[in-house]
Amino acid sequence: MRALLVVNPKATTTSARTRDVLAHALASDLKLEVAATAHRGHARELAQQAAADGAVDLVVALGGDGTVNEVVNGLLAHGPSERVPRLAVVPGGSTNVFARTLGLPNDPVEATGALLDALEAGRERVIGLGKALTPGLPDRWFTFCAGLGFDAGVVGRVEERRRAGRRSTHALYVNEALRHFVTERERRRAGPITLRVPGGEPVPGLVFSIVSNTSPWTFLGNRPVHPSPRASFDTGLDLFALDRMTVAGTVRTARGLLRGDGAGPRGRHVVSYHDLRHFTLVSQEPVPFQVDGDHLGERTDVSFTGVRRALRVIV
């Protein structure tokens, strides 16, 4: 089997030693080429070229969720197809939601062993993905989540701190979420976002919205966070949103997110949908937007589509 290993050398837990160990292990079973990313978007370019050339059967992403997202968007630049190479993932970031949701170990060495076992046994899974469409901009596939509003604003703040030299940690995310909660007081009371589902009444006044393709949405250390517990790679998209964020209400919501009993957060300000094929979020003003934890700037109009059986993944 011919394979391309795409490595993000700047990922939080990726080191030259990890890369070398993984490459050596894979090269024993695969005809392997290794490529390190040099700039943002490079992983997408490498994967897109590999898919277009038809030169590889498998693309392995070593990095965090951002690297995986770029590889997926490169592989699916021309849409799902049986000719698209399979994807495999070795976690190298700080959170690694997609890899962990697939059931892979969070340790890159252990994940490499699991990957080799899966390759030997011929195990693969066909998963559904989400697709975000913004007028005038390229479409963006996402593996586990997208967000418009408050949560994307937190992602943007974290990225600013990382550009300033801060290390990506779970504590950094929590601290920036608390700061964002304080500074966004007016938007927390009357949100600018409206949900439009085909055949349904518009739902206005949303403060933020989390679109899930699977569950959990993220992890705090080893603690999974579940806004939409029924979300799955085998169904359409799930939506969790709030139309108001008071202090007491947000504390109750946080408890629901961490509860893990399969019910998810509840309350009169909670908006929740399961297994949606298509819907649109429209904002009265530009608000932050993210996919798979990657801040993409601000948007006023984003449509979401759940695409079943979009990609083959080695598991």
- CA separation (Å) from 170 to 174, 213, 222? 6, 22, 10
pLDDT of residue 185: 64
Q: How many residues does the chain have?
A: 315
pLDDT of residue 193: 97
| 8 Å CB contact between 234 and 128 | yes
Instruction: Write down the mean pLDDT value for the chain.
Output: 92
Residue 8 makes CB contacts below 8 A (sequence gap 6+) with 14, 36, 37, 43, 62, 63, 64, 66, 67, 92
Smallest CA-to-CA distance from 240 within 257, 219, 260, 222 is with 257
Other beta carbons within 10 angstroms of residue 167's beta carbon come to 10
Lowest mean pLDDT of 32-46, 171-185, 293-307, name the range: 171-185
Tell whether domain 132-309 is in CATH 2.60.200.40.
yes
- 0.85 exceeded by pTM: yes
| 8 Å CB contact between 98 and 219 | no
pLDDT tier at 187, thresholds 50, 70, 90: low
Residue 54 makes CB contacts below 8 A (sequence gap 6+) with 83
Helix axis angle, 16-27 to 108-121, nearest 10°:
10
CATH code of the domain made up of 2-122: 3.40.50.10330
pLDDT of residue 136: 94
| 8 Å CB contact between 125 and 150 | no
Buried b (16+ CB within 10 A) or exposed e, 14-29: beeebbeebbebbeee
pLDDT of residue 13: 78
| Domain range summary for the chain, segments of one domain joined by + | 2-122, 132-309
| Rounded Cα–Cα distance for residues 50 and 56 (Å) | 6
Smallest CA-to-CA distance from 237 within 301, 143, 314 is with 143
Q: Do domains 2-122 and 132-309 have the same CATH topology?
A: no
Q: Across residues 81-97, what is the average pLDDT?
A: 94
pLDDT tier at 303, thresholds 50, 70, 90: very high
The pair phi, psi for residue 8, each rounded to 5°, is -95, 100
Q: Across residues 256-262, what is the average pLDDT?
A: 83
pLDDT tier at 306, thresholds 50, 70, 90: very high
